A = this chain, B = another copy of it.
Amino acid sequence: MMTLSEFLIPSSEYAARRGPEDVIVLSSRARLARNLCDSSFPAWAKKPERLQILKRISDAVVSLAPMKSCLLESMDNLSNNDKLALMERHLISREHTARGVGSGLAINKEENISVMINEEDHLRMQAILPGFQIRKVWERIDHLDSELEKKIPYAFHPEYGYLTACPTNLGTGIRVSAMLHLPGLALTDQISQIVGAVSKLGLAVRGIYGEGTDALGNLFQASNQMTLGETEEDIVIRLEKVIRQVVKNEENARQTLLEEKDQITLLNHIGRAWGILSNCYTIETRETLNLLSFIRLGIDLGMFPKGKRSDLEELFLITQRGHLQLAAKENMDAPQRDRARAEILRKKILKLKAPQKVKLKPLES
């Protein structure tokens, strides 16, 4: 049998994937929550029923065209590092890493469609693509959903829509989101203002790691809040519109920082990040995320002539716990991981050479 490490796209290749407007919108995701009409929700179902549900859904999922040669695994067959690596690639939720017997997962070969079975709902299916592709991920998951609905009976109420274990997902069961890199807004202290404005539009902007404005790595997830009383089409259109606005704000913030006398704020942050990462001998995830954010920004702005975005994305991936331990083929304690992480970062970041001031280009409007 194929192991997960053998199945997964190598990190360098995974990190090299590009998408439209992926400088600020790192990735787009759509997920649907669905349940069988004739079975208990996972939290209520006993083990034999959960196993039966898993079998039924698995059979249906693997028979679909988009899931050809997919990886299908029962969660108890995965090691902790496997689960962590899947979470780090945003293919499964943190909750699903805690599941064992009776829960499962299917991932297609391209690693852009994943189906969690017996997570909170019987079915959580997700499409993820690099860059700004909200509509495309929605269409993909909508198609998968329609195909699947032909094979298994969904719990659907004519008035409430799709039924879910938690009422916050009731109705369309859809969550569409984008991962945004917003260092410009963070450096110009505009994050809380943006978060506030967006939430008034019924959308949410949250730190992906950490809470609120303390978001690690200046990474934010913009997503729809409600699943009831609105069509999927409306949700997609509104999210696209809001993200486009946030991207514009981030671009303006970056331009402002570039235009600032001698680019001192930028150079100071990016230079220090480069200096620390290329000279540290032990470093935690938290600090890594925050410093790599500035390196990513430096690469975006052309301050590192030798810097490729894909190198950065790879570092971002392989310095996380699961990937680190899968690569080392052993579990490490926290200090060991912090040293291994520093080792990787020091060598790779040093190659970028220190950041340089850049000439100003007028912003395209």
Contact = CB atoms under 8 A, between A and B. Distances in A.
Contacts of A342: 268
Interface in A58-115: none
Contacts of A197: none
A27 B161 CA distance: 79
Interface in A135-190: none
Nearest to A278: B275
A347 to B, nearest CB: 12
Contacts of A354: 279
Interface of A is mostly: helix
Question: Copy number of this protein in the oligomer?
Answer: 2
A18 interface: no
For this complex, into which size category does the number of interface residues on chain A fall?
A: 10 to 19
A297 to B, nearest CB: 15
A267 interface: yes
A264 B276 contact: no
A281 B271 contact: yes
A274 interface: yes
A237 interface: no
A258 to B, nearest CB: 14
B276 A280 contact: no
A354 to B, nearest CB: 6
A280 B267 CA distance: 8
Interface of A: 262, 264, 267-268, 271-272, 274-282, 339, 342, 354-355
